[in-house]
Amino acid sequence: MEPVDPARPGSESPVTRGSAEPYPAHWEADVLLRDGSTMRIRPILPSDADALQAFHEAQSEESTYFRFFAPLRSLPPRDLARLVMVDHTDRVALVMLSGDRIVAVGRYDRIEAGTAEVAFNVSDAHQGRGLGSVLLEHLAAAARERGIDRFVADVLPSNARMIRVFSDAGYDVRQRYEDGVISLEFQIDPTQRSLDVVASREQRTDAASMRALLAPEGVLVVAGEESDGQANLARRIAANLAARGDVTCVGEPLREVAAEHGHPWLPGLPAEPVPAATLAYVAIAPGVVLDLLPTLAAAGVRGVVVLGSGFDRDGAPTQVQLVAAARAAGVRLVGPRSYGLVLRPRDVADDAGSTGTDQAGTDDDVTAAPPADAATANGTLAHPGPAAGPVALFSQSAALSAQLLAATVANGIGVATYVSAGHRADVSGNDLLQYASDLPDVRAVALYLESLGNPRKFARVAGRVSSRVPVVAVVGASQRGEGGLGRAALEEAMLAAGVIVAPTMQAMLDAVALASAAPLPRGRRVAVLGSSIALIGLAAGQLSHVDPDPILVTYDARGGAEAVSAAVERLSAQEWDVAVVIHVDLLGELDPAILSALTGLTSSGRPVLAVVPGLHGLTPELAVPRLEGGTTDAGQEVVPAYPSVEEAVAALELVLRYAQRRRRDPGSLVEPAELDLRAARGIVEDTLAAHPEGATLEPAQTRAFLAALGITMLPSHIVHSTRQAVTLAREIGWPVALKSLDPELRRRSLGGVRLDITRPLELVEAMRTVRLRQGGTGPVELQAMAPLGVACVVRGWDDPIVGPVVSFGLAGDATELLEDATYALPPLRSGDVHRLVRGIRAAPRLLSRLADRLDAEPDLEPLEDVIARVAEAVEAIPQLRALRADAGARDRGGHPRALRVGPGRPGDPARRRPPRPATRRAVRKVGG
């Protein structure tokens, strides 16, 4: 397979674009392979010549022949120079590195407009690990960015492995046999199948890397000197892992604890022999950690938990250096300052396999509980640790992790797996989601998120996982930082991505207790059963917005269990979707017979909550033997208990929101056609080159940017005099609009906007009025008026916490003062777009006014198309800080108020963002 024959000295690409592009640093990426190990992809550099020659000379004759169609034991100097000298536009090459060694190369050469010839060469020692597939994904993304939409390649018939790389990627590959060579060609525009392939590969690789951490084959616990002040952390981990027989302690401070709990002990590393282990806990000085990583990797360790802190302090290594060292060693990193992990038995994790996480479950899905022998191990600093159960748990800082695990134990919530990411240098909540999506015994996921390391990936992954199990989160930093979403907006945006946002840690655990212990409600019909008429009335009032007419049933607690059973039987025969049981004993005594009778409601297969003073969470007092085949097995179902009606209703509301979202058809991924993201990105990069700190785009730049998105602005001009205004109004045509250039005055209620100006005299008066509002002088903006419609506001911005956000509302007071807007996290599906337009409180006003003015059913597709284009821009261009389009609810023009750009935020995952399939639509215009 040969794009441009290096044996033809001086051969050049037939298509030339002039000078080379600057080095595309955003193409660099750390990637995971199918076995969970890590490598790095980056564009090739001239300094890679020696490494490329070494890579080539290490290849077998067969691999060299497959690549060059001829034996070539070493690359001639001139050809070697050409292979490492590329222009990053017409000639692009990406290398994959394991440490400092090149282990794979992928390149393309443009042969005509829109078409490039592609070639790969993967080290013989790394065949079968998925390097070619990952390189193809990244090379195709780079090519699309450079305006290429088709790859071609020549492959020898015997090179079946390379042919499979292309076909398995999900592209529609056409083959033609000619002159002893198979010629392949395929469009690299993403298809639904190629997207599914990328998502599936990403999930498998992420899960594989986490399996070495959370279901390890052996554990090392490494302590440094006592003077480090961290040895106690290692001692606690070693003691908590006493039940595991594959733990080895390393370091003098662990000699006694190893002897006490029967762990093998080594004085230090390296030592011969080092027991097999894929996970290591380290509690040593920061500088020693970096030196130890290669030794651990050589011993087979693939995941390292850094318990201590101290990085980024004076004289200590930085976290950036720590991650770089971990990448070079090929290991995943948890921490620094991690609180630890809850480990799973390796055999149980391996039996889980793939569960088809891309398929949405039904509303009443409850995954089977873990087998009785699926005991977890407490690899955290907590004592005692949580029991085994159906919840996957994630948190970050050690202090919050200690609180979370203590609350989890107090609420009786069992944990299937847990990660404390600490300072989140590497492993994040996204990794836990990917791993948990592969576990059939997980019924719910709980995340305490202080920040989102990769917001774009979080929205994508959480949406897939939440199609199977509830995902409940507290976003601790959601109300910190300038420009962050408010609480209501955050909840709506996250719920659109499938995540239930709880206000507090306890509220999250309350919701998780219900979501993990019972099937999802099929609807919103509520029944309330209790011994107190007052409390039943209170519950009915608090549930009125859920069910205005709930079923209310009382019983006389003095009648004992028989009276309760009779009430339960009456209620079971009625139609409801979820029941709240309230039982209060005035003396504070809990009658086991009464509690057992109350749990009888679960026999209907519908969710039940209990409000019992003195009980909270999943308690044995409300356990119900689980029946299988008519017999009682060793497992139990537990009715979640809450100490008050208010807390029970709050948990129920969160779960009902999730259940309603789960029942809603999300639709297909939406991407409008004919977007030139390369041109839009170029405008942003040019602006940032002149203003590195960020800037608001000038009108001409804004117009060009929107044109690249397929959005056409209505004509507008900056005018300095009434004479100029009248002349331009006659040119663009009446009616016109006049707007102040002061952003604060552009609200219509403040008098900075005058619309529907139809005559010169009206324009003169409008000029005088608007100028008075902004100080008496100065230029104003003259714009063509859109036809009759309803003015709307479409906004997109890069939120400092959750990443790209898009919102919709009506222009004017509804959005500016009443904050009546809807929110979603890209990438958007058709269901998201429909909900954005129809979910605002003023939606009836929008639809009725449009129907009245159009005298027909409103056509909202043009407006939805604008929303989709704005969402695509804020997701695809991390440097785009904010874009606001004042759009009419029809397909005519307008313009945005502001389009701001700034430096890409740290960790912007441009290279890991998979492409999305296009949906053909006409280019739309936005109106003001």
Taking the C-alpha atoms of residue 5 and residue 14, their distance in angstroms, rounded to an integer, is 13
**Confidence class of residue 172 from pLDDT cuts 50, 70 and 90?**
confident
The confidence score (pLDDT) of residue 818 equals: 75
Residue 134's identity, in one-letter code, is V
Highest-confidence segment of 142-156, 408-422, 619-633, 891-905 = 408-422
Q: Residues 16-24: what's their mean pLDDT? A: 62
Where does the pLDDT of residue 276 fall: very low under 50, low under 70, confident under 90, or very high at 90 and above?
Answer: confident
Confidence band for 167, pLDDT divided at 50, 70 and 90: confident
Q: What pLDDT, on the 0 to 100 scale, is given for residue 850?
A: 60
* Statement: residue 794 has pLDDT above 70: yes
Long-range contacts of 478-484 (CB under 8 A, 24+ apart): 478/801, 478/802, 480/801, 481/800, 481/801, 482/800, 483/797, 483/799, 483/800, 484/799, 484/800, 484/801
pLDDT at 426: 92
Between these two residues, 639 and 585, which has the higher pLDDT value?
Answer: 639
DSSP, collapsed to helix, strand or coil, labels residue 876 as: helix
pLDDT tier, 784 (very low <50, low <70, confident <90, very high otherwise): confident
- Burial string for 773-801 (b: 16+ CB within 10 Å, else e) reads bbeeeebbbbbbbbeebbbbbbbbbbbbb
**Rounded to an integer, what distance in angstroms lies between the CA atom of residue 858 and that of residue 881?**
32
Per DSSP (E only), the strands in 48-149 are 91-98, 101-112, 115-122
pLDDT surpasses 50 at 380: yes
Tell me what the mean pLDDT of segment 687-708 comes to: 87
Q: What is the pLDDT of residue 921?
A: 33
What are 805-832's pLDDT values in tens digits? 899 988 776 666 677 889 988 888 888 8
Mean pLDDT score, 887-905: 62
Beta-carbon contacts of residue 482 (< 8 Å; ≥ 6 apart)? 800
| pLDDT attached to residue 615 | 94
Q: Would you say residue 363 has pLDDT above 80?
A: no
Q: Is 150 exposed, middle or buried (0-12, 13-18, 19+ CB in 10 A)?
A: middle
Q: With bands split at pLDDT 50, 70 and 90, how would you rate the model's confidence at 127?
A: confident
Alpha helices in 252-336 (DSSP H): 255-261, 286-298, 319-329
Q: What is the pLDDT of residue 173?
A: 87
Predicted local confidence at residue 100, as pLDDT: 86
Is the confidence at residue 252, as pLDDT, over 80? yes
pLDDT at 361 over 70: no
Percent residues over pLDDT 90 in the chain: 42
Could you check whether the bond before residue 270 is cis, i.e. omega within 30 degrees of 0? yes
What's the pLDDT tens digit per position in 218-227? 999 999 988 7
Higher pLDDT, residue 480 or 559: 559
Mean per-residue pLDDT, 542-564: 92
More confident residue, 303 or 146: 303
How high is the pLDDT of residue 359?
33
More confident residue, 349 or 83: 83
CA angle 670, 671, 672 (to 5 degrees): 120
- Give the pLDDT mean for 552-579: 93
Distance CA 31, CA 328 (A): 12
Q: What is the structure's pLDDT at 656?
A: 94
Residue 686 has pLDDT above 50, yes or no: yes
Mean pLDDT for all residues in the chain: 83
Q: What is the pLDDT of residue 916?
A: 35
Residues 424/433, Cβ–Cβ less than 8 Å: no
> Mean of the pLDDT values across residues 3-16?
34
pLDDT band at 856 (very low <50, low <70, confident <90, very high): low
Provide mean pLDDT across the span 337-346: 93
Inform me whether the pLDDT recorded for 86 exceeds 80.
yes
Supply the DSSP string of 494-560, one letter for each residue: HHHTTEEEPSSHHHHHHHHHHHHHSPPPSSS-EEEEES-HHHHHHHHHHTTTT-SS-EEEE--GGGH
pLDDT at res. 875: 84
- What is the model's pLDDT at position 898? 67
- Print the SS3 string covering 342-396: EECCHHHHHHHCCCCCCCCCCCCCCCCCCCCCCCCEEEECCCCCCCEEEEEEEEC
The answer to whether residue 909 scores a pLDDT higher than 70 is no
Residue 655 has pLDDT above 70, yes or no: yes
pLDDT band per the 50, 70, 90 thresholds, residue 632: very low
How many Cβ atoms are within 10 Å of 57's Cβ, its own excluded? Answer: 12
Confidence of residue 748 (pLDDT cuts 50, 70, 90): low
pTM of the model: 0.78
Strand order in the sheet with 332-334: 265-266, 247-250, 219-223, 279-283, 303-306, 332-334
- Average the pLDDT over 852-879 and give the result: 79
Answer whether 576's CB lies under 8 Å from 528's CB: no
pLDDT at 510: 97
Beta strands in 131-180 (DSSP E): 150-155, 174-178
Q: How confident is the model at residue 263 (pLDDT cuts 50, 70, 90)?
A: very high
Q: Any idea which residue has 């200590």 for tokens? A: 316
Predicted pLDDT of residue 111: 94
Cα 386 from Cα 780, distance rounded (Å): 65
**Region 273-296 average pLDDT:** 92
CA–CA gap between residue 413 and residue 400 (Å, rounded): 17
Higher pLDDT, 198 or 869: 869
Cα-based angle 41, 42, 44 (whole degrees, multiple of 5): 125
pLDDT over threshold 50, residue 18: no
Q: Residue 366: which pLDDT band, with cuts at 50, 70 and 90? A: very low
Q: Taking residues 18-46, what's their average pLDDT?
A: 82
pLDDT-based confidence at 922, cuts 50/70/90?
A: very low
Weakest mean pLDDT among 268-272, 290-294, 453-457, 611-615: 453-457
Rounded to the nearest 10°, the torsion over CA 703, 707, 710, 716 is 40
The pLDDT score that the predictor gives to residue 853 is 55
* Residue with the larger pLDDT of the pair 29 and 801: 29
